[in-house]
Amino acid sequence: MSASALLDQWRDHLATGRRRSPHTVRAYVATAERLLLAIGLSDWDDVAKVSARDLRGHLATRRADGIGNVSAARELSALKGFIAYAREQVGADPGTAPRLRGPRIKKGLPRPVTPDEAVGLAEMVHGTAASDWTGKRDAAVLLLMYGAGLRIAEALSLKVDDLPLGETLVVTGKGNKQRVVPLIPVVRDAVSAYADSCPHPMEKGDPLFKGARGGALSQGIVQKAMARARKALGLPSTATPHALRHSFATHLLGLGADLRSLQELLGHASLGSTQIYTKVDAAKMLEAYRSAHPREND
């Protein structure tokens, strides 16, 4: 069996068996490919026998290449899954895969944008786009993230069948779990304006957001549009599409939303993932306090 055949099987398992996102599949397959090439593996028996020492040496090489703690931790997680899958293929217990602790990662707080900045970004991506319809498209995606708390992958997974948007939207998130999110008028209007201006056929079953040639819109296009807009507005590099989702959560919490409701709106599997926004809100209040009382810093 060739290395490419292993990777094809791993890719199919991730995409079909585990229902991973296209981005995750690409990253996990690329990580597995690096291991196969580095150690010279070509069948599931070889992969199943990879030891903690082998992994440690491979990751040390990757660290020497310049990857940081976060990337190293992600690679280790992906490789553990790959080896566990290999052990399943040869009839071994996947639970006996090498145990290796990843690097410690200090969790940083999400950096939300202000409501004015969020609206400004949507207006800027529209105003600086190559065409009016692609500008309306990119603005609609950003407003779905800020106004409804969608992940970028969730926004781009919407279908033409979801039109016309109503006051609520059923979203399919991570792990194929569904949730219902409310849609404010400005979000519905933005999506409607895009759909009305899109020059490509809007057939049932098609992706709602289309690329320039009529295929599914890629995350990279939205990310590039956001990067141009934040540069034009003088915003920091932390103003990414995902920051809009953080802003949605932080602003709702600041307005009195409870954590359980916020957890449901965001589609978090655990409340712990949602609790980080309490720290964000507290950090914002402390910053405002210090600005209003500069003597307290003396």
DSSP string, 84-133: HHHHHHTT--GGGSPP-PPPP-PPPPP-PPPHHHHHHHHHHHHHTSSSHH
Higher pLDDT, 103 or 213: 213
pLDDT in tens, 159-200: 999 999 999 888 887 777 788 888 889 999 999 999 999 999
Catalytic site includes residue 26: no
Catalytic site includes residue 245: yes
Q: What is the pLDDT of residue 267?
A: 60
Catalytic site includes residue 200: no
Q: Which position among 87, 151, 210, 246 bears the catalytic label? A: 151
Q: What is the pLDDT of residue 283?
A: 42
Catalytic site includes residue 13: no
Integer Cα distance of 212 and 216 in angstroms: 9
User: Which DSSP category does 202 fall into?
Assistant: -
Q: What is the pLDDT of residue 133?
A: 94
Q: Which position among 242, 246, 251, 290 bears the catalytic label? A: 242
| pTM to 2 decimal places | 0.57
pLDDT in tens, 125-150: 988 888 999 999 999 999 998 888 88
Q: Cβ distance 277 to 250 under 8 Å?
A: yes
Q: Which position among 26, 34, 174, 179 bears the catalytic label? A: 174
Q: Which position among 28, 146, 194, 277 bears the catalytic label? A: 277
Q: Radius of gyration of the chain from Cα atoms?
A: 22
Integer Cα distance of 33 and 110 in angstroms: 32
Catalytic site includes residue 107: no
Q: What is the pLDDT of residue 288?
A: 40
How many other CB atoms are found less than 10 A from the CB of residue 54? 18
Q: What is the pLDDT of residue 104?
A: 60
Which runs of consecutive H residues, i.e. helices, occur in the chain?
3-12, 22-39, 44-48, 52-64, 69-89, 115-127, 132-148, 152-156, 185-197, 219-233, 241-254, 259-266, 271-292
Q: What is the mean pLDDT of the chain?
A: 80
Q: Which position among 136, 245, 246, 251 bears the catalytic label? A: 245
pLDDT in tens, 65-110: 887 776 787 888 888 888 889 888 888 876 766 776 665 655 555 5
Q: What is the pLDDT of residue 280?
A: 45
Residue 214 in this model has a pLDDT that exceeds 80: yes
Integer Cα distance of 247 and 264 in angstroms: 16
